Amino acid sequence: MYIYIYICIQRRSARSRRTVSILDAVPKLAEVGKLETPKLQGKYETGQLILHRVFGYRGVILFPWLARVYDRDLPNRREGTEDGNFNGVGKEVKGRTHTFYQVLIDQRDCPYIRAQTEAVTFLGNHESSRSLYAIPGLDYVAHEDILPYTTNEKPALQHELFDKFLSYHSDRDPPFAAQETLRAWQKKNHPWLELSDVHKETTENIRVTVIPFYMGCRESQTTSVYWWRYCIRLENLGDLSVQLRERHWRIFSLSGTLETVRGRGVVGQEPVLSKTLPAFQYSSHVSLQAPSGHMWGTFRMEREDGYAFDCRIPPFSLESKADEPTTPNANT
Instruction: Give helix then strand counts, H and E, for the chain.
Output: 2, 23
Domain's final residue, options 178, 195, 212: 195
Q: Are 298 and 206 members of one domain? A: yes
Q: How many CA atoms lie within 13 A of 119 on its CB side?
A: 27
The enclosing domain of 314 has a CATH number of: 2.60.40.1470
Instruction: Please list the pLDDT of the chain residue by residue as tens digits (332 residues).
Output: 555 544 443 333 334 344 333 344 455 677 788 999 999 989 999 999 999 999 999 999 999 999 999 999 985 544 433 443 433 444 457 789 999 999 999 999 988 888 877 667 767 554 445 566 777 899 999 999 999 999 988 899 999 999 999 999 999 999 999 999 999 999 988 887 888 899 999 999 999 999 999 988 888 778 889 999 999 999 999 999 999 999 999 999 998 999 999 999 999 999 999 999 999 999 999 999 999 999 999 999 999 999 999 999 999 999 988 754 455 555 44
Spell out where 195-267 has E strands. Answer: 197-203, 206-219, 224-236, 242-253, 258-264
- C-alpha distances in angstroms, 196 versus 69, 79, 264? 9, 20, 30
DSSP assigned state of 162? H
Q: Could you give the angle at the alpha carbon of 291 between the alpha carbons of 289 and 294, nearest 5°?
A: 90
Out of 195, 210, 226, a domain closes at 195
In a shared domain, residues 170 and 247: no
Rounded to the nearest 5 percent, the helix, strand and coil shares of the chain are 5, 50, 40
Q: Are residues 165 and 68 in the same domain?
A: yes
The domain containing residue 265 runs over which residues? 199-325
Whether 149 and 262 share a structural domain: no
Nearest-angstrom CA–CA distance, 15 and 232? 28
231 and 212 in a common domain: yes
Alpha-carbon distance of 26 to 232, in angstroms, equals 34
Query: What is the greatest pairwise CA distance in the chain?
Result: 62
The secondary structure of residue 319, as a DSSP letter, is E
Q: How far is CA 3 from the centre of its chain?
A: 24
The DSSP H or E segment spanning 189 is helix 180-193
CB atoms within 10 A of CB 234: 23
Cis peptide before 174 (omega within 30 of 0): yes
- What distance, in Å, lies between the first and last C-alpha atoms of the chain? 38
14, 10, 6: which is closest to 22 by C-alpha? 10
Asked if the structure places residue 5 within a domain, the reply is no
Among the candidates 160, 180, 195, a domain finishes at: 195
Q: How many domains does the chain have?
A: 2
Provide the CB-side half-sphere exposure for 239 (13 A, CA): 0
Q: What pLDDT is stored for residue 10 in this prediction?
A: 38
Beta-carbon count within 10 A of 56 CB? 16
Asked if 262 and 214 sit in the same domain, the reply is yes
By C-alpha distance, which of 331, 202, 179, 329 is closest to 273? 202
User: Cα 84 from chain centroid?
Assistant: 22
What pLDDT sits at residue 124? 58
Residue 160 DSSP one-character state: T
